[in-house]
Chain A
């Protein structure tokens, strides 16, 4: 995190519409995975009033200044940046807990993103749920958007709404992360498959994260699973980071080797051709 001037980083907003689908966990883990790859990464918690990202990263006790302090000029940007305890090139700008979404305007967010992209390769913005001011703030300065959804009808419905709003904001089509998929439930027909989700949303897929109970314990401990080489969910997050870096990474098979899953990915142009 040396003060290298103008890295011209990418501003990527992680959003979902519906709450509780795993935006914050995704932001923390994709950020950690990118940082582990040597990139300078800053995570911005745009969920003002419902601060969470610091907890997932285990940095709660280090907060002195927050995003509202920065935009209102009570501190320098540098003072609000919290350096991660594991990865020196990962930083966090926490949300304010005692204010609400109205405390920041889209213009202020845009200016903040401009400032951050000069110092970092990746600026990841954790959007609040909903489609109101908080969401508009979160995408104001974005170059790209990642939409997180669960294989549930209600989450997909909200994701669809978000995709429409992102397109209306004249951003490029967002890419999709399907989080918490359970291959066994899909096989039994009790859960939407990735294919079902893609059929409705019709946007490019960038990640499929399997349901993994280690996420819950890791999140509570403030340890991103992306840093755990044995976690399947962690591998999925590392794959997303690699795809953001432009690498062609095959999707992990969730099912038996020649299941529907593989065939579907191949049909989409992902995965091994063999």
Chain B
């Protein structure tokens, strides 16, 4: 997919449990990468200040000159490189010979659910439903779906376009079933078991799955499903 390729050509930031990770794109020239990193650091300077981060080379071939250039740039912003991530052990050995601390980095895994089918698109119409979907029930809509009621655990909602739930989502919702990554899922309260947008899957954390006790919107950002609380003042 085009969007996907574009996402892979830019430097991405990932927050992980071990800290912040800069994911370096595969084929983008170093000058562009440096420029993107600089933009990132300047636009979110308070976020990065004094941080230590991991440079993730799982998708890009590490070259000593490049790392040195990045190190210099980060240094100017008061940021330390804590480790360099690489996918294979011989790359890690090479990095260690250069004197870097390394860690294993998996190339971004993408769960493929369905093959995107560009011919099957919806006409933008919406299905309107007023009922609570209980465990074992499922509804499908070709276009968008508007549901007034809850989606209980064990219930399934599938739509070609967006899914708007005026109620609590505790079950599973799949928006953009034919591969539309622009599809969104919005609900008064998003506490889902699983959300799917296009061919992406996000599931509730196994532990401490905190309910978002506020209206929220799920959409695809950088090839990942992101859930954000809905703030009226933001609009």
CB distance from A149 to the nearest CB of B (A): 12
B130 interfacial contact with A, CB 8 Å: no
How many B residues touch A, CB cutoff 8 Å? Answer: 10
CA distance A62 to B188 in the complex (A): 57
**What 0/1 readout, one digit per residue, does chain B (153-164) give for beta carbons within 8 Å of chain A?**
110000000000
B contact face: mostly helix, strand, loop, or mixed:
loop
Chain A residues, Cβ within 8 Å of B136 = 131, 161, 164-165
Chain B residues, Cβ within 8 Å of A161 = 134-136, 154
Chain B residues, Cβ within 8 Å of A157 = 135, 153-154
Residue of A nearest to B152 (CB): A160
Chain B residues, Cβ within 8 Å of A153 = 153
B170 interfacial contact with A, CB 8 Å: yes
Chain B residues, Cβ within 8 Å of A164 = 134-137
CA distance A160 to B136 in the complex (A): 9
CA distance A200 to B152 in the complex (A): 7
Chain A residues, Cβ within 8 Å of B135 = 157-158, 160-161, 164
Chain A residues, Cβ within 8 Å of B154 = 157, 160-161
Interface residues of B in 107-150 (CB under 8 A from A): 132, 134-137, 150
Chain B residues, Cβ within 8 Å of A202 = 132, 150
CA distance A157 to B170 in the complex (A): 11
Residue of A nearest to B133 (CB): A164
CB distance from A256 to the nearest CB of B (A): 26
Known: A164-B136, A164-B137, A200-B170. 17 other contacts (CB 8 A): A131-B136, A153-B153, A157-B154, A158-B135, A160-B134, A160-B135, A160-B154, A161-B135, A161-B136, A161-B154, A163-B134, A164-B134, A164-B135, A165-B136, A200-B152, A200-B153, A202-B132
Q: Can you show 15 pairs from A to B with CB atoms below 8 A apart?
A: A131-B136, A157-B135, A157-B154, A158-B135, A160-B152, A160-B154, A161-B135, A161-B136, A164-B135, A164-B137, A165-B136, A167-B134, A200-B153, A202-B132, A202-B150
**6 tightest A-B contacts by CB?**
A164-B134, A161-B135, A160-B135, A161-B136, A160-B134, A157-B135
